[in-house]
């Protein structure tokens, strides 16, 4: 029980105080967040009550289970980023509110959490600003900076392990929505990620010696529609975050692998899409190719961090809604998180990038991003990216990741605010061509992350 001395004003001052010391961030209001999480697995005793209950925070105007729409969105305006606020207030988006998730175990993969706990305090930045483990080795798994002291640590920890798994294959459906709300393009794709370092599940752990100079292998292979079937791109990320990933691609019409220059990361891969490589996980580029990291905001927020698995649908497909009955928005469940950290960064290694900066909202407990807003070169809001996560577990159905329930992203929006074109993507159980979601299977590498694989899928 917290007394009234921890008022909203106190909370606000506490968060602003953190901003004033941007290079010495300390998460939590009443105590140190990570201490609580690492000891109890929850954020107990770290935040005052009004940050733990949506009803209390809004003085009863919005409660868990309510639907947020244009009629009541003003009650939660300060819990939303400006783009989601605009989407709800003016573009027919609705958000379903859910009870807050307190257990950190439900907010990330268990193996990743255990590695974070096991390896806390061991990470440091070397002279090149790359994250190292004791002895100068590549990072050894989990989040290297679970209690970040600055914005760079927030971003570095997330960039090292996007999906928090050693290997993932996300089978996905994409819907590109035009200005009038109708779906103009539909794609199906398989997105693969594989970590040679920082491994927590796959052997050898924590590092594949033959690939220890690599951080990540990542590919995307389009399987539908017909004219893009087989189009694929393979990114091979050096561990050195100052270097651009190697980018190879297979265009079926050419029947061959081509090497693409790697700094073209701010354009769609396929017609109609509003998603760029640079958008991936809100950290689609090596973190040292961006710079000027700083924290611009801390405070409570509404985020889609759990209860978003569409277990009712056999293929995990999600419902949609929109004004005039169109299919503009995903149905998403949001919950109050007591503290979000908003980090701003600039694309310092991309002199002709169409964006000048981005702001990314992280859940302070998991350091997982849930919203990104980017700005064009004039400083105007350009695009937004908001995603949802979930543990894939319900009363009737579970998806397992070894001995634990599978945890992952579920669906996302990428919204070009200037053209009002929206890309919706959802993770599904399977797509055409026999591809199905896979997690922590070594076979993902040979099957999806080599040039052979690209050629094979390209026919």
The DSSP result for 286-328, as a single string, is -GGGSEEEEEEEEEEEEE--SS---TTSTT-PPPEE-GGG---
Q: Quote the CA–CA distance of 219 and 445 in Å, as a whole number.
A: 10
Q: Is the dihedral of CA 424, 429, 435, 438 positive or negative?
A: positive
Which of residues 20, 135, 379, 434 is near another protein by CB under 8 A? 434
- Pick 143 or 231: Cβ nearer another protein: 231
Q: Quote the CA–CA distance of 216 and 281 in Å, as a whole number.
A: 13
Return the beta strands (E) in 148-268 as ranges: 167-177, 183-194, 214-224, 232-238, 246-251, 256-260
- Pick 82 or 433: Cβ nearer another protein: 433
List beta partners, residue 424: 175, 413
Question: Residues 203-232: x/- map of binding to another protein (CB under 8 A)?
Answer: -------x------------xxxxx-x---
Q: Is 184 in the site for another protein (CB under 8 A)?
A: yes
Q: Is 254 in the site for another protein (CB under 8 A)?
A: yes
The count of chain residues that interact with another protein, using the rule CB under 8 A, is 55
Q: Quote the CA–CA distance of 222 and 218 in Å, as a whole number.
A: 14
- Pick 32 or 419: Cβ nearer another protein: 419
- Pick 72 or 264: Cβ nearer another protein: 264
Joined together, the tokens standing for residue 310 give 């569409």
Joined together, the tokens standing for residue 218 give 């990542």
Q: Is the dihedral of CA 38, 40, 45, 47 positive or negative?
A: positive
**Interacting span for another protein (CB under 8 A) from 94-102, 199-207, 294-302, 443-451:** 443-451
- Pick 362 or 448: Cβ nearer another protein: 448
Question: Residues 376-415: x/- map of binding to another protein (CB under 8 A)?
Answer: xx--------------------------------------
- Pick 389 or 448: Cβ nearer another protein: 448
Residue 132 CB neighbours (<10 A):
19
Number of residues that this document lists for the chain: 459
Q: Which of residues 269-328 bind another protein (CB under 8 A)?
A: 270-274
Nearest distance from C-beta of residue 150 to another protein, angstroms: 24
Nearest distance from C-beta of residue 19 to another protein, angstroms: 30
Chain residues binding another protein by CB under 8 A are 184-186, 210, 223-227, 229, 252-256, 258-264, 266-268, 270-274, 349-354, 376-377, 419, 421, 430, 432-435, 443, 446-447, 450-453, 455-456, 459
């Amino acid at each position: 029980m917290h007394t009234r001395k921890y008022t909203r004003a106190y909370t606000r001052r506490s968060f602003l105080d953190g901003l004033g010391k941007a290079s010495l961030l300390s998460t939590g209001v009443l105590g140190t967040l990570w201490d609580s999480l690492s000891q109890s697995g929850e954020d107990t005793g770290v935040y005052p009550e009004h940050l733990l209950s949506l009803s209390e925070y809004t003085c009863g105007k919005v409660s868990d289970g309510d639907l947020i729409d244009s009629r009541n969105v003003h009650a939660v305006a300060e819990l939303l980023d400006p783009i989601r606020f605009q989407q709800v207030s003016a573009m027919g988006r609705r958000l379903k509110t859910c009870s807050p998730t307190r257990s950190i175990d439900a907010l990330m993969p268990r193996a990743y959490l255990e590695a974070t706990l096991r390896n806390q305090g061991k990470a440091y930045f070397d002279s090149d600003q790359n994250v190292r483990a004791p002895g100068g080795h590549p990072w050894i798994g989990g989040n290297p900076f679970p209690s970040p002291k600055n914005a760079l640590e927030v971003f570095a920890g997330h960039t090292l392990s996007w999906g928090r798994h050693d290997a993932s294959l996300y089978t996905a459906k994409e819907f590109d929505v035009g200005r009038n709300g109708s779906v103009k393009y539909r794609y199906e794709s398989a997105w693969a990620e594989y970590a040679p370092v920082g491994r927590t599940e796959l052997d050898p752990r924590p590092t594949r010696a033959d690939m220890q100079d690599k951080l990540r292998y990542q590919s995307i292979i389009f399987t539908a529609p017909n004219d893009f079937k087989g189009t694929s791109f393979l990114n091979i990320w050096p561990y050195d975050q100052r270097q651009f990933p190697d980018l190879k691609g297979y265009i079926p019409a050419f029947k061959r692998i081509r090497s693409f220059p790697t700094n073209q990361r701010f354009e769609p891969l396929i017609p109609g899409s509003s998603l760029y490589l640079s958008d991936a996980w809100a950290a689609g580029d090596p973190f040292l190719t961006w710079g000027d990291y700083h924290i611009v905001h801390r405070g409570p927020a509404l985020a889609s961090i759990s209860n978003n698995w569409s277990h009712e649908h056999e293929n995990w497909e999600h419902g949609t809604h929109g004004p005039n009955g169109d299919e503009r928005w995903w149905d998403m469940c949001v919950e109050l998180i007591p503290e979000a950290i908003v980090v701003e960064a600039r694309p310092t290694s991309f002199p002709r990038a169409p964006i000048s900066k981005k702001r990314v909202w992280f859940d302070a407990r998991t350091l997982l991003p849930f919203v990104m807003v980017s700005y064009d070169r004039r400083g105007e809001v350009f695009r937004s990216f908001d995603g949802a996560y979930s543990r894939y577990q319900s009363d009737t159905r579970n998806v397992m990741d070894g001995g634990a329930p599978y945890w992952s992203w579920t669906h996302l929006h990428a919204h070009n605010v200037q053209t009002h074109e929206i890309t919706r993507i959802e993770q599904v159980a399977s797509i055409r061509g026999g591809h199905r979601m896979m997690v922590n299977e070594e076979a993902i590498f040979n099957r999806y992350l080599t040039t052979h694989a690209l050629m094979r899928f390209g026919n």
